[in-house]
Amino acid sequence: MAANRNKPWLKSYPEGTPEFITLDPRKTIVKLLNEAESNYPDNDAFVNFGVSLSYRDVQTKSKKFAAYLQNVLGLKKGDRIAMMMPNLLQYPVAIFGALRAGLIVVNVNPLYTPRELEHQLRDSGSKAILIFENSAHVLSAVIEDTDIEHVIITKIGDFLGPIKGSLMNFVVKYLKRMVPRYSLPGKIDFKSTLGRPVTDLDEAPISIDDLAFLQYTGATTGLSKGAMLSHGNVIASLEQLEAMLVDVIDEDG
């Protein structure tokens, strides 16, 4: 009882929720995806614009993207890669691919101004960026003042199939004119990065103490600052949620 008086929040825990969780020191975000693909290979992992990716799809595509980052761009464990896009199917593929290669992901708000983007890219030391084409004009205004060496462009229809995807890209760019002019010499098309054989991937050794993300703050009190999130930090959050919601998860199957 004395312990509970010192920790009054415990009385708000659902019945059966443990006070502490124990992390598996071998579990990383990449291993989590591996387990999901092994257990539910054909289940939908992500759905967007009526198109779904199964866990097997995400696994295969992320491995190909990781192989490209390593073997073509020459990125190594610990390098930073920025990702500036809305919620598209390309995003989880790129996230898991980058983490699989041992890179640190720097998420960037796709609505950032050039000044905000420049600060985050410079502060994070990002060497590469995967960016939504609609935001590419923002990057073109500041790229010369950053350490960015590689620019990968993705379009809204990249994972929506040849017909639907091409139609979406045409409407967004030419009818709705939602893609301002930009100049980024040497840019790489995201779809072209998925052509490497999975066997080309050299899985990076990753531990729970390795950084997974530099997640930047909202800059309400000054310049945006990068919070260092390790694989262990993310896994701990998931384990906590699972412990709190175990009854709900069991009911939903």
List C-alpha distances in Å: 88 to 157, 219, 239.
9, 25, 26
Cβ pair 200, 71 in contact under 8 A? yes
Instruction: Read off the pLDDT of residues 79-107 as tens digits, 9 standing for 90 and up.
Output: 999 999 999 999 999 999 999 999 999 99
Residue carrying structure tokens 């989880």:
92
Domain boundaries of the chain, sorted by first residue: 25-215+223-252
Q: Phi first, then psi: what are they for 105, rounded to 5°?
A: -90, 130
pLDDT at residue number 5: 67
Instruction: Read off the pLDDT of residues 180-225 as tens digits, 9 standing for 90 and up.
Output: 999 999 999 999 999 988 888 998 999 999 999 999 998 777 788 9
Question: What's the rounded Cα separation, in Å, for the pair 228 and 177?
Answer: 37
H or E stretch covering 198? none
Question: What's the rounded Cα separation, in Å, for the pair 41 and 55?
Answer: 5
Cα 239 off chain centre by: 19
Q: What is the pTM of this model?
A: 0.92
The model's confidence at residue 253, banded by pLDDT at 50, 70 and 90, is low
The model's confidence at residue 148, banded by pLDDT at 50, 70 and 90, is very high
Cβ pair 99, 105 in contact under 8 A? yes
Cβ pair 178, 172 in contact under 8 A? yes
Fold of 25-215+223-252: Rossmann fold (3.40.50)
